[in-house]
């Protein structure tokens, strides 16, 4: 917001030849590395060629024009240094304006993406396997991106592309018929299927014929064999029950659960399209599309036995999303290990003449592991996401019991804190980095954690209650910027003013991390302000208290919205 104010001050000072609108300018402004340089600066190097002057000369001219115009009221000062135009905001007015704006619910939202429909492929676990810790990332990065795209004006469709088709079902069916334990399957269907998978892989090493049987079983499934289909349906239904239990805890919903099997009757069409375009080639009896010219290995379309495979289902899926969901952009929030797969899929689409494939984007992320032996409740080789959530919640409860024993509803808050800690522990990293998740660290109330942000938020809520903020507001006290004269207050206000720009940056980089880091900066800036002097005390002037509390309330608004955008709850007490 300060950027927009700065842009509105600078724009009239530039000559028309510079061809600058306020909006373009706002995008060029920077926060100077040192406070002495001012609050906002504009690098003037880009104008140098166009206006045939040195950057420093231009900065000097712009500064003079501002100081003669907008700067006359003494609320903003312009100066020039090293080719940069620097603005320093002195007046109380800006503070009132920014804090006032930051109190509103829709603060930070924008319409940048208006008219654009974005399909986000996220979570997309495989049926009959548990949700592992690895699925946390796709689910929560995808969920945060969906929220971020929505508040920047996009229309978002969240799709769970369930892995509900493929040779693995052949394996499962064979394993079930050989070693299936009906009782275990009733009680613990997913854990039991995992055991069956593990057993299948062990036994098939000794008895390779099992692989053939599995292929046959899947072929039977593809041909619609009734009994096989019934078994498959059972695994799908049971898996969905388990998935929903975890999604509910994570607070994640989807608009569509169209998994791979949904596209079964569209595959033939795609294969025909590939054939008609002359792209389909034989390779050892299998069908492939060659991609040598792109330096990519061939994309496998059909196996030797004619059964379908992952890439062709994704090709059919993309076409459906474009043609039927009318997607303007498709994001695939999927681990980096599938980069080649998506390159191949997008390349084949392009070769088919679907140039819109350029609006499909793989949003890769690094591997997540869980350190600390105690946490690795390994069953098979998977760390169950649910176990991680349980342990985080238990730890959160222990901390809350100690810190706030009299808090009502402790277990509800512990759930919000524990789950929030896990989500923030993921999103605070650049998504491309691998994360070794440390549960104890993530649940800590200090440091760069979700609970730290939640705690700052809850503390502000309690401060506002204590200071009777709502009553003061009711009495008509407006935000008086003059009261917020300290450096700490100004730094906090400036941080709040960046919210909209941060949300836009998170979207353009597809990085929830940008928002996560920003929220830590907000909490730190506020805590510095909070610790710099008492706000509510005996004999304090109501007008003064009201303005300081307004800054606290504005911070609460940004923290709460920011946490919620990341998919994290913001309890009022903890």
- For ligand ARG, the binding residues (CB under 6 A) are 121, 124-126, 161, 163, 314, 317, 332, 334
CA 237 to chain centre: 28
| Closer to ligand ARG by Cβ: residue 61 or 124 | 124
Q: How many CA atoms lie within 13 A of 268 on its CB side?
A: 2
Q: From 442, 451, 311, 418, select the one nearest 368 (Cα to Cα).
A: 442
- Cα separation, 123 vs 141, whole angstroms: 9
| Closer to ligand ARG by Cβ: residue 152 or 317 | 317
Q: Supply 360's token pair.
A: 């499909």
* Cα separation values, 459 from 87, 403, 452, Å: 34, 13, 10
| Closer to ligand ARG by Cβ: residue 125 or 420 | 125
* 3-class DSSP state of 370: strand
Residues 6+ apart with CB under 8 A from 480: 92, 96, 543, 544, 546, 547
Task: Yes or no: say if 438 and 428 are a contact pair by the CB < 8 Å rule.
Answer: no
- Cα separation, 149 vs 113, whole angstroms: 7
Minimum CB distance to ligand ARG, residue 502 (Å)? 28
| Closer to ligand ARG by Cβ: residue 510 or 555 | 510
- Cα separation, 436 vs 533, whole angstroms: 39
Minimum CB distance to ligand ARG, residue 494 (Å)? 40
Residues 6+ apart with CB under 8 A from 278: none
Task: Yes or no: say if 122 and 116 are a contact pair by the CB < 8 Å rule.
Answer: no
In eight-state DSSP terms, residue 535 is: S
| Closer to ligand ARG by Cβ: residue 99 or 162 | 162
Angle in degrees, CA 396, 397, 401, rounded to 5: 120
Task: Yes or no: say if 289 and 301 are a contact pair by the CB < 8 Å rule.
Answer: yes
Minimum CB distance to ligand ARG, residue 123 (Å)? 8
Minimum CB distance to ligand ARG, residue 314 (Å)? 5
Task: Yes or no: say if 75 and 89 are a contact pair by the CB < 8 Å rule.
Answer: yes
| Closer to ligand ARG by Cβ: residue 77 or 341 | 341
- Cα separation, 347 vs 364, whole angstroms: 17
Minimum CB distance to ligand ARG, residue 169 (Å)? 13
Minimum CB distance to ligand ARG, residue 300 (Å)? 14
- Cα separation, 569 vs 454, whole angstroms: 8
Q: Supply 489's token pair.
A: 């207050």
| Closer to ligand ARG by Cβ: residue 334 or 558 | 334
> The sheet that has 84-89: what strands, in order across it?
40-43, 84-89, 76-81
| Closer to ligand ARG by Cβ: residue 313 or 459 | 313
**Concatenated DSSP letters of 313-339:** HHHHHHHHHHHTS--SEEEEE--GGGH
In eight-state DSSP terms, residue 70 is: G
Residues 6+ apart with CB under 8 A from 359: 327, 328, 329, 330
Q: Supply 71's token pair.
A: 């700067």
| Closer to ligand ARG by Cβ: residue 317 or 449 | 317
Minimum CB distance to ligand ARG, residue 269 (Å)? 18
Minimum CB distance to ligand ARG, residue 386 (Å)? 17
Burial-class residue 473 by CB neighbours within 10 Å (0-12, 13-18, 19+).
middle
Beta strands in 407-494 (DSSP E): 435-437
Minimum CB distance to ligand ARG, residue 46 (Å)? 40
* 3-class DSSP state of 34: coil
Q: Supply 350's token pair.
A: 């392009």
Beta strands in 82-168 (DSSP E): 84-89, 117-121, 155-159
Minimum CB distance to ligand ARG, residue 371 (Å)? 23
Minimum CB distance to ligand ARG, residue 234 (Å)? 19
Find the residue with minimal CB distance to ligand ARG. 163
| Closer to ligand ARG by Cβ: residue 58 or 127 | 127
Minimum CB distance to ligand ARG, residue 253 (Å)? 18
| Closer to ligand ARG by Cβ: residue 123 or 497 | 123
Minimum CB distance to ligand ARG, residue 161 (Å)? 4
| Closer to ligand ARG by Cβ: residue 41 or 168 | 168
| Closer to ligand ARG by Cβ: residue 161 or 171 | 161
Q: From 351, 222, 199, select the one nearest 290 (Cα to Cα).
A: 351
- Cα separation, 425 vs 440, whole angstroms: 10
Minimum CB distance to ligand ARG, residue 323 (Å)? 16
| Closer to ligand ARG by Cβ: residue 86 or 510 | 510
């Amino acid at each position: 917001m300060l950027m927009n104010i700065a842009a509105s001050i600078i724009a009239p000072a530039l000559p028309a030849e510079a061809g600058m609108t306020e909006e373009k300018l706002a995008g060029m402004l920077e926060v100077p590395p040192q406070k002495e340089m001012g609050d906002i600066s504009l690098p003037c190097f880009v104008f140098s060629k166009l206006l045939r002057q040195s950057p420093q000369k231009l900065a000097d001219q712009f500064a003079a024009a501002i100081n003669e115009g907008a700067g006359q009221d003494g609320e903003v000062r312009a100066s020039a240094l090293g080719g940069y135009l620097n603005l320093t905001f002195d007046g109380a007015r800006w503070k009132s304006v920014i804090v006032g704006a930051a109190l509103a619910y829709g603060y930070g939202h924008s319409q940048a993406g208006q008219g654009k429909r974005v399909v986000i492929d996220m979570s997309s676990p495989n049926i009959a396997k548990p949700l592992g810790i690895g699925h946390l990332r796709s689910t929560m990065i995808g969920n945060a991106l969906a929220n971020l795209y929505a508040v920047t004006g996009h229309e978002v469709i969240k799709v769970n592309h369930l892995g509900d088709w493929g040779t693995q079902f052949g394996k499962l069916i064979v394993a079930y018929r050989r070693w299936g334990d009906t009782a275990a399957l009733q009680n613990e269907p997913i854990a039991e299927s995992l055991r069956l998978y593990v057993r299948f892989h062990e036994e098939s090493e000794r008895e390779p014929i099992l692989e053939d049987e599995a292929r046959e079983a899947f072929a039977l499934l593809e041909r619609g064999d009734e009994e096989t289909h019934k078994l498959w349906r059972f695994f799908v239904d049971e898996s969905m029950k388990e998935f929903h239990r975890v999604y509910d805890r994570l607070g994640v919903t989807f608009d569509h659960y169209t998994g791979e099997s949904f596209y079964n009757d569209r595959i033939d069409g795609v294969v025909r399209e590939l054939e008609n375009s002359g792209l389909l080639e034989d390779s050892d009896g299998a069908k492939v599309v060659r991609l040598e010219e792109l330096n990519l290995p061939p994309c496998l379309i059909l196996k030797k036995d004619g059964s379908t495979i992952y890439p062709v289902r994704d090709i059919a899926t993309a076409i459906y999303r474009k043609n039927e969901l009318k997607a303007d952009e498709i994001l695939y929030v999927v681990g980096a290990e599938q980069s080649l797969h998506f390159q191949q899929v997008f390349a084949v689409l392009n070769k088919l003449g679907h140039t819109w494939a350029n609006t499909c984007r793989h949003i890769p992320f690094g591997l997540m592991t869980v350190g600390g032996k105690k946490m690795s409740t390994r069953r098979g080789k998977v760390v169950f996401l649910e176990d991680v959530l349980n342990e985080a919640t238990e730890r959160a409860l222990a901390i809350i019991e100690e810190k706030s024993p009299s808090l009502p509803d402790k277990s509800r808050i512990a759930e919000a804190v524990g789950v929030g800690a896990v989500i923030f522990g993921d999103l605070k990293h650049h998504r491309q980095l691998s994360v070794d998740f440390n549960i104890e660290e993530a649940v800590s109330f200090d440091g760069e954690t979700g609970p730290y942000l939640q705690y700052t938020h809850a503390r502000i809520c309690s401060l506002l209650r204590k200071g009777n903020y709502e009553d003061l507001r009711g009495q008509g006290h407006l935000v008086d910027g003059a009261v917020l004269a300290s450096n700490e207050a100004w730094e906090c206000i400036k941080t709040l003013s960046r919210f909209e720009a941060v949300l836009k940056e998170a979207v353009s980089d597809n990085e929830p991390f940008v928002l996560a880091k920003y929220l830590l900066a907000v909490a730190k800036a506020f805590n510095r302000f909070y610790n710099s002097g008492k706000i509510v005390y005996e004999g304090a002037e109501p007008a003064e208290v009201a303005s300081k509390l307004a800054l606290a309330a504005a911070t609460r608004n940004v923290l709460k919205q920011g946490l919620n955008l990341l998919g994290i709850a913001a309890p009022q007490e903890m």
